[in-house]
Structure 1
């Protein structure tokens, strides 16, 4: 295969920047383009969880019971607009077809190899000069009723059977966890995971990529990608036509707009998540908190607590829906003590790229020199660095690393 000396990465989120960083490690001259700014999509306001132990298929069998109830509950974490949208309802039909025990196990087996590399890939970035920190921490997982914990525990046992170490333990009855109310009657801890402040971390990665010689151009929308003799040409708003040996499309929920013409037919649906940060009375919370039955994830963030949740299936550029924030607040208000949910800052919505089968799209397209990296759903942050490393290896050697073999974007 021709040697890759230059590459253009379209998308300055965690996945795109990690791919750029690893291409630089292999001697490739890189340009990164983003139509907005660094971490302007799902990489800024998410929970920042580095939880390979929970990086599992989104479509699970419990959706058959939870989904219909959620459609009737305005405070439910799952939100689908009631309107005629053939593409959306077609996606949901395919998505639900994967919510079976057998499909879940197959997808979990496919995710496990890259899950197991996720934290080590972060260590590599930090040892290689990315000035940011991933924080090891215990996870506190709370439920209002003991039976609610059973699906979560069952899923983590499935993750363990697939080959990961899962250090999950029940907190003895009578032991109170600070800031959780008495309404939380079943509490667990999960060890061996980490978290980051995702926006600042992604910005630090962009700074490292730039310091090592890359051009990072923001406000640079890619209007067209076209294979040409000896490489790939891009039409870029405000920058004319650019050329490189290789192009990586890493545009998250917007991936189909550029990738469909190159044989990537798997539907990518925006699964929008919301977040905000709130103050905490007394000592700050120094560990993540998860309420699985409420689908709400909380993370320490710059002295406050970031509260994140919701899976809202809308278009990626639709307006912010204030009702989704109210729904999150309503769902967890009774579960906290000393957390001021009414003093919200940094209210945000971001679009996560969800595929029907729960597997990312990483690898070659039908066009020589054009690759994609996306479709990670809720797991773009935790799997981004490992994805970037594997894809950079594919681009520079021609081989397909085993950990991304199941993620063929032409499947």
Structure 2
């Protein structure tokens, strides 16, 4: 405990996704009374419709030179899995300008130095939740990148090579066409090479986050849904949450903003000025005669598939759009068209559970985890596509900071006010 620091007795958490609930759970383990407030429902945002892949081997800063080169080409293609509105608003323009500035090799390596200690501890945080009573499993799930050409395979292997070059251990094996077909017979003949990443896991995202919420409640925590927090202020040594309709207002010793793509709206007044934008993903589930046994990435098609409740969940698209904008039905068609060229024995007419959700992406590719400029107010968010993988560890580290007043070394480069 830092000298002079008093651990809070009551903490309010804004957001009932993986990040907010994990932080709440770890705070409870330290004896803190927690109330979680959520504008819609538990796991209603990016925690619901993703593929559920826990892949610390692939958790890296999104801005890097090849993404920039790909993005320039992709924006000219209406069928591209990367999409930006024709008329970018001021906030999006600011975000994209900063994002492009970080697409250099040097900045990626500095960012990867921040990710490495997180990646190395990420799966152990899930084990700790399991030991503490969270009744949802993680399953061993090797992750295979299925490639159409040698060039695609070499590009993916080079991405893994950069992670290894940053000092992170990654166990991979190369698959020939016949080996790929033996393991994943439902792949289309166009898939000719594979790179298999071992040591990864997967979850059923809605079920896992619901179980985490149940555990928070079982430990005495409150989860209040339908509460749209519009502002946060410090008053008399307490943190107050204010709603748009004024129907809910409560004071806490400390508070955590874990509101996903809506983080900028609440955090800007408290020194959180790193641009954050919703990189919206689309997904749906289909039936298959022979469902895939493990997660598969199609790097050349910019989509991923995973086993999901007897079917296949297909995810893709990086759409830089307002988080509350209506879904673009053409994006679902784009994913189906790409996936149909990669998978056989799939009943595309069975598509269901259509979902679009905003993954909060920061302009420098690093999460925002730590204290804000307002005493007692903290943030966890901005994980981009890695919120499932890193959410539990992020919650654990932030809970440690809140309770002890000491910033864990892993959080030093993730300062929300950087």
> Given the two structures, how large is their TM-score scaled by the length of structure 2?
0.96
Cα displacement (A) at 1:360: 0.5
Check whether the contact 1:145–1:185 (CA below 8 A) recurs between aligned residues: yes
The answer to whether the 8 Å contact 1:114/1:404 transfers is no
In the TM superposition, what are the counterparts of 1:149-228 in structure 2 within 5 Å?
Answer: 149-175=153-179, 176=181, 177-228=184-235
The 5 Å alignment of 1:96-175 reads 96-175=100-179
Aligned to 2:320: 313
Of 221, 226, 250, which residue of structure 2 is paired with 1:242? Answer: 250
Match of 1:9 in 2: 13
Deviations 1:384-404 (A, max 9, x none): 000000000000001011111
1:238 deviation in Å? 6.3
Match of residue 341 from structure 2: 334
State TM-score, norm by structure 1: 0.97
* Structure 2 SS opposite 1:201: helix
Match of 1:384 among 374, 391, 402: 391
Query: What's the RMSD between the two structures over aligned residues?
Result: 1.2
**Using the alignment, how far apart are the partners of 2:34 and 2:292 within structure 1?**
40
Aligned to 1:257: 265
Q: Could you list the runs of 5+ residues in structure 1 that have no partner in the other structure?
A: none
Any conservation in 2 of the 1:137–1:194 contact (CA below 8 Å)?
yes
Of 269, 274, 285, the match for 2:282 = 274
Is contact 1:33-1:216 (8 Å) kept?
A: yes
Residue of structure 2 in register with 1:52 after alignment: 56
The question of whether the paired residues in 2 share the 8 Å contact of 1:220 and 1:238 is answered with no
Q: How far 1:67 moved relative to its partner? A: 1.2
Range with greater deviation from structure 2 (328-337 or 17-26): 328-337
1:332 deviates by 2.3
Return the offset for 1:337.
1.3
Residue 350 of structure 1 is matched in structure 2 by 357
Q: CA deviation at 1:224?
A: 2.3
The alignment partner of 1:299 has SS state of: strand
Structure 2: distance between partners of 1:240 and 1:80:
36
Residue 154 of structure 1 deviates from its aligned partner by 0.9
**Contact 2:63–2:103 (8 Å) recurs in 1:** yes
Do the aligned partners of residues 48 and 92 (structure 1) sit closer, same or farther apart at CA in structure 2, a change above 3 Å counting?
same
Distance 1:144 1:84 in 2: 34
How far apart are residue 87 of structure 1 and its match?
A: 2.0
* Whole-angstrom distance in 2 between the partners of 1:397 and 1:84: 42
Q: CA deviation at 1:311?
A: 0.5
Task: Provide the C-alpha distance between the structure 2 equivalents of 1:305 and 1:328, rounded to a whole number of angstroms.
Answer: 13
Q: Measure the CA separation in 2 of the matches of 1:323 and 1:136.
A: 34
Structure 2 CA distance for aligned equivalents of residues 224 and 308 of structure 1: 33
Query: Deviations for 1:241-268, whole angstroms, at most 9, x for unmatched residues?
Result: 2011000000000001111110111111
| Number of residue-to-residue matches in the alignment | 410
CA-CA distance at 1:84 after TM superposition:
4.3
CA distance in 1, matches of 2:233, 2:95: 28
SS in 1 for 2:227: coil
For residue 289 of structure 1, report the CA deviation from its aligned partner: 0.7
Secondary structure class of the residue paired with 2:199: strand
Change (3 A) 1:172 1:233: same
Cα distance change on mapping 1:238 and 1:202 into 2, 3 Å? farther
Rounded to whole Å, the distance in 1 between the matches of 2:242 and 2:88 is 34
Please, which runs of 5 or more residues in structure 2 have no aligned partner? none
Contact 2:147–2:192 (8 Å) recurs in 1:
yes
Q: CA deviation at 1:239?
A: 4.2
- The verdict on how the C-alpha distance between 1:100 and 1:342 changes in structure 2, with shifts beyond 3 A counting, is farther
1:87: which partner in 2?
Answer: 91
Q: Which runs of 4+ in 1 moved over 6 A?
A: none
What residue is the counterpart of 1:374 in the other structure?
A: 381
Shift of 1:80: 0.7
Deviations 1:6-38 (A, max 9, x none): 100000000000000000000000000001100
